[in-house]
């Protein structure tokens, strides 16, 4: 596995750590349970990191020194690709020929390194985009900067080089084919999973008591990185509309925002706090730093609804994690969220990011206990379709397909 720009060991919810970190680590763990030894190469971001860290039996994270440990933004990482690639190739050279059977790269930067390793080692390259510049640029959040042309070119190079591309959803597969001219015969859809042993229903009253939340409150939760792409401001603006419509809601609403600044959100890390104050709802909003998966499951269980207002998501792990805890989700009708949420059954999909529309959908969920319980029950059923065990099995099948396609090319 190559995950250059972010380590699977980093805490999701801040910096560049998010769903991709969870994906790489959880998939690797499940592959290891199937007897597949996995090395994960990632860039070292601290001198305190051990060169090798055993994440679990069969999974080793290799911290590669490439560039300064700190102060290097993701936009500056292309300048370190050569150094990173050299260290990856050097690691393989210390083993017998044929040590690695396949390369699975994540995000376009890793794909650049993966393409070199593929050619050098004569093994198949499987690539997961996770996000795509062309898709992001087509639906930019207000105040967010477009992805540079260098990334667009780099992604195209990876698409052309990979033996098989893994798409999270059917929509992402179509985007790869239509926007990047990917060969449809080399694009496979594999849904990400959720750890159903961690994200599982638990009594709401107990979860709220553990988190210090009022037992009878309407709790509207945002969980994720605080940046324009994830659009937590949409939730805050919707809550302001809800209170303006019904001032009595102020005494019963609690809006936790669990996560930390990331991406362009780092330029103004306090912007969401300032927005809550400007909207006059800072008394109902609670800002919570990123938490462990076990505690995040508590937050999901404690919530009346989870809001996922992103401008784009290749899948939307937060939405499925919340549903696995039996909590309905209100999400933007974009990208993979249209797969992650079963509209009208496990939650609601909202077209656009108009706060008034979001206020309508959120009010609908909290206004009826019966509807909320019905949505929560269906959310739990829907989430069972997504497990990391299934993801691992399907990914193994993709690896075999990539091997077959590569043999045919050689022949």
Determine contact, residues 30/8, Cβ cutoff 8 Å: no
19 in a known ligand binding site? yes
- Please, are residues 222 and 232 in contact by the beta-carbon 8 Å criterion? yes
5 is in an annotated binding site: yes
In 17-65, beta strands by DSSP E? 38-43, 52-56, 59-64
CA distance 300 to 286: 15
Is residue 131 marked as binding? yes
Query: Does 230 appear as a known binding residue?
Result: yes
21 labelled ligand-binding: yes
**253 vs 231: CA distance, rounded Å:** 20
Three state DSSP letters for 144-170: CCCCCHHHHHHHHHHHHHCCEEEECCH
291 is in an annotated binding site: yes
Residue 17 annotated as lining a ligand binding site: yes
**CA 268 and chain centroid, separation:** 22
Tell me if 99 is assigned to a ligand binding site.
Answer: no
* CA geometry: angle 296, 261, 27, nearest 5 deg: 50
- Annotated ligand binding at 10? The verdict is no
- 79 marked ligand binding residue: no
In this structure, the number of other CB atoms found within 10 A of the CB of residue 206 comes to 12
Q: Is 93 annotated as a binding residue?
A: no
DSSP assignments along 56-106, one per residue: ETTEEEEEE--S-SSS--GGGGGGGHHHHHHHHHHHHHTS-TT--S-EEEE
16 is in an annotated binding site: yes
Is 265 annotated for ligand binding?
A: no
From the annotation, which residues make up the binding site for UDP-N-acetyl-alpha-D-glucosamine?
Answer: 11-12, 19, 225, 230, 291, 313, 321
From the annotation, which residues make up the binding site for Mg(2+)?
Answer: 300, 303, 327
From the annotation, which residues make up the binding site for 1D-myo-inositol 3-phosphate?
Answer: 5, 16-21, 74, 107, 131, 151
From the annotation, which residues make up the binding site?
Answer: 5, 11-12, 16-21, 74, 107, 131, 151, 225, 230, 291, 300, 303, 313, 321, 327
């Amino acid at each position: 596995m190559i995950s250059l720009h972010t380590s699977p060991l980093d805490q999701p919810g801040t910096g560049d750590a998010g769903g991709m970190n969870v994906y790489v680590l959880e998939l690797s763990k499940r592959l290891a349970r199937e007897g597949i030894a996995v090395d994960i190469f990632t860039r070292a971001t601290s001198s305190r990191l051990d060169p090798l860290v055993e994440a679990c039996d069969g999974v080793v994270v290799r911290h590669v020194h490439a560039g300064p440990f700190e102060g290097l933004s993701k936009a500056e990482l292309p300048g370190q690709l050569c150094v990173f690639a050299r260290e990856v190739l050097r690691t393989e050279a210390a083993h017998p020929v044929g040590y690695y059977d396949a390369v699975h790269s994540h995000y376009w930067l890793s794909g650049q390194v993966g393409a070199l390793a593929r050619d050098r080692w004569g093994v198949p390259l499987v690539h997961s985009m996770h996000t795509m510049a062309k898709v992001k640029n087509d639906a930019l959040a207000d105040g967010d900067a477009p992805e540079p042309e260098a990334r667009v070119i780099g992604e195209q190079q990876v698409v052309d080089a990979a033996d098989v591309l893994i798409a999270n959803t059917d929509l992402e597969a179509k985007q790869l084919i239509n926007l990047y001219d990917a060969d449809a015969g080399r694009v496979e859809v594999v849904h990400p999973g959720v750890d159903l042993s961690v994200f599982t229903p638990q009594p709401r009253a107990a979860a709220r008591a553990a988190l210090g939340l009022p037992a009878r409150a309407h709790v509207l939760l945002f969980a994720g990185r605080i940046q324009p792409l994830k659009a937590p401001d949409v939730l805050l603006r919707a809550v302001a509309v809800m209170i303006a419509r019904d001032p009595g809601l102020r005494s019963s609403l609690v809006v936790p925002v669990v996560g930390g600044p990331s991406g362009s959100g780092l330029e103004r890390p306090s912007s969401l706090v300032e927005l809550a104050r400007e909207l006059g709802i800072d008394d109902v909003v609670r800002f919570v730093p990123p938490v462990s998966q076990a505690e995040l499951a508590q937050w999901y269980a404690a919530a009346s609804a989870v809001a996922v207002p992103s401008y784009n998501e290749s899948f939307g792990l937060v939405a499925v994690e919340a549903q696995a805890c039996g909590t309905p989700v209100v999400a933007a009708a974009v990208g993979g969220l249209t797969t992650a949420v079963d509209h009208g059954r496990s939650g609601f999909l909202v077209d656009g990011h108009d706060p008034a529309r979001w206020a309508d959908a959120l009010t609908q969920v909290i206004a009826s206990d019966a509807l909320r319980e019905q949505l929560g029950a269906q959310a739990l059923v829907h989430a069972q379709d997504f497990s990391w065990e299934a993801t691992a099995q399907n990914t193994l099948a993709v690896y075999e397909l990539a091997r077959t396609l590569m043999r045919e090319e050689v022949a």
